[in-house]
Chain A
Amino acid sequence: NAGVTQTPKFQVLKTGQSMTLQCAQDMNHNSMYWYRQDPGMGLRLIYYSASEGTTDKGEVPNGYNVSRLNKREFSLRLESAAPSQTSVYFCASSGSLYGYTFGSGTRLTVV
């Protein structure tokens, strides 16, 4: 099915460990985004990529890095995980008047 695929779906990390969240879309969208969702906080933009080869910081970029590997893939890296990064992470892509298509999310717990 066409859409946005995120891996993994669940992850538990120890404080200080690193990991990369993967995201791929097959809709030929130019723009891709990473959001985090926390209770009572809604969805907050971490990083975005308006097109292949470009990335920019969003509202809450500290502690994260991103890579737009090609038009399809946009990864989010935590270099040294902290408990404050416990959250649900959503990747999205956009290419039309109808907003974003979201992935199903990655639930990350940092202990």
Chain B
Amino acid sequence: DQQVKQNSPSLSVQEGRISILNCDYTNSMFDYFLWYKKYPAEGPTFLISISSIKDKNEDGRFTVFLNKSAKHLSLHIVPSQPGDSAVYFCAASGWTGGGADGLTFGKGTHLIIQP
């Protein structure tokens, strides 16, 4: 059973507009959530995270929102730029920082920014 779900395999957004990537989780023990960005032929790189004690975290153009009651988080990218085209993975942990027992990843969403 998939504990972290990214239901949109791909998303196409026009340059300059807002990109919204969604993620749902089922395990109520998760208390730390992260987004990773991955370019082809490279490893994933950390983008932004949020602890379950918060409902929003911002870093420049990137904002992550967490709705604990709905077990839902989203990543907003404003404005979207061509370099944002990549696969984005949502990940969750039961221990702040990634946990000794590993992060659980979603299947990823391929974001395509159209010029």
Chain A proximity mask over B70-93: 1 for CB below 8 Å, otherwise 0: 000000000000000000010101
Interface residues on A, range: 20 to 34
- For the complex, would chain B's binding face be called helix, strand, loop or mixed by DSSP majority? loop
Contact A99–B34 (Cβ < 8 Å): yes
Residue of B nearest to A9 (CB): B41
Q: A90-B44, A101-B46 are in contact. Are A43 and B89 (CB under 8 A)?
A: yes
Number of interface residues of B (CB under 8 A): 27
Contact B91–A58 (Cβ < 8 Å): no
A81 to B9, CA, bound (A): 30
Q: A31-B98, A56-B101, A99-B97 are in contact. Are A43 and B44 (CB under 8 A)?
A: yes
Measured CB to CB, the residues of B under 8 A from A are 6, 9, 34, 36, 41-46, 49, 89, 91, 93, 96-108
19 A/B residue pairs, CB under 8 Å, sorted by A: A42-B89, A42-B106, A42-B107, A42-B108, A43-B105, A50-B101, A51-B100, A92-B43, A94-B98, A94-B99, A98-B46, A99-B36, A99-B97, A99-B103, A100-B44, A101-B46, A102-B36, A104-B42, A105-B42
Measured CB to CB, the residues of A under 8 A from B are 4, 31, 33, 35, 40-45, 48, 50-51, 56, 58, 90, 92, 94-105
